[in-house]
Chains A and B, each alone.
Chain A
Amino acid sequence: MCLAIPMQIIEIDGYVARCEAKGVQRDVSLFMLQDEELAVDDFVMVHVGYAIQKVTEKDARSSWELFDEILVATENESVPEDA
Chain B
Amino acid sequence: MSLNNAKHWLQKINDLELPEKIKIMNVCGGHERTISNAGIRSLLPENIELIPGPGCPVCICPEEDIFLAIQLALNEDVILIAFGDMLRVPVNVSKKEVRTLEQARANGADVRPIASPREAISIANDNRDKKIIFFAAGFETTTAPVAAMIAEGLPDNLFILLSGRLTWPAVAMLLESGEPGFDALVAPGHVSTVMGPEEWQFVIDKHHIPTAIAGFEAESMLAALYSVLRQKLDGRLFLDNCYQEVVHDGGNKTAQRYLNETMDVTDNNWRGIGIIPKSGFSLSQQYAAHDARLVFKDYSDDSRRRIGEMPAGCDCAKVVLGKIYPDQCRLYGTACQPETPIGPCMVSDEGACHIWWNTAPRKSIKQKSVSTQVEESVV
List A residues at the B interface (Cβ < 8 Å). 1-4, 15, 27, 29, 31-35, 45, 47-50, 52-53, 55-56, 59, 62-63, 65-66, 69-70, 73-74, 76-83
Contact = CB atoms under 8 A, between A and B. Distances in A.
Interface string B89-124: 000000000000000000000000001111100000
A3 B30 contact: yes
B57 interface: yes
A35 B258 CA distance: 12
Contacts of A73: 37, 358-359
12 contacts: A1-B85, A2-B55, A2-B191, A4-B141, A32-B145, A32-B254, A32-B255, A50-B116, A50-B117, A53-B193, A55-B245, A59-B246
B253 A35 contact: yes
Contacts of B353: none
A62 B1 contact: yes
Contacts of A1: 29, 57-58, 83, 85, 138-139, 141-142, 348-350
A49 B116 contact: yes
B148 interface: yes
Nearest to B145: A50
Contacts of A56: 245
B334 interface: no
Contacts of A45: 190, 193, 246
B230 interface: no
Contact of A52 (B118, B151, B255, B358): B255
A82 B116 contact: yes
B115 A82 contact: yes
Given A69-B37, A73-B37, A83-B115, A48 B142 contact: yes
Contacts of A79: 349
Interface centre among A1, A32, A69 (most CB of B within 10 A): A1
Given A47-B141, A62-B1, A32 B148 contact: yes
Contacts of A80: 83-84, 115, 349
A17 to B, nearest CB: 12
Contacts of B152: 15, 29, 31
Given A33-B254, A53-B248, A62-B2, A47 B190 contact: yes
Interface residues of B, number: 50
Contact of B246 (A50, A55, A83): A55
B61 to A, nearest CB: 11
B84 A27 contact: no
B346 interface: no
B52 interface: no
B29 to A, nearest CB: 7
Interface string B131-149: 0000000110110110011
The 4 nearest A-B residue pairs measured at CB: A49-B116, A82-B115, A50-B145, A59-B245
Given A32-B258, A52-B141, A53-B252, A65 B28 contact: no
Nearest to A56: B245
Contact of B217 (A47, A63, A76, A82): A63
B33 interface: yes
B188 interface: yes
B189 to A, nearest CB: 8
B163 to A, nearest CB: 12
A52 B190 CA distance: 9
Contacts of B254: 31-35
A80 B148 CA distance: 21
Interface string B242-261: 00011010001111001000
Contacts of B117: 48-50
B246 A47 contact: no
B1 A27 contact: no
Contacts of A52: 141, 144-145, 190, 193-194, 252, 255
B216 interface: yes
A62 B296 CA distance: 46
A77 B349 CA distance: 9
A15 B349 CA distance: 30
B222 to A, nearest CB: 13
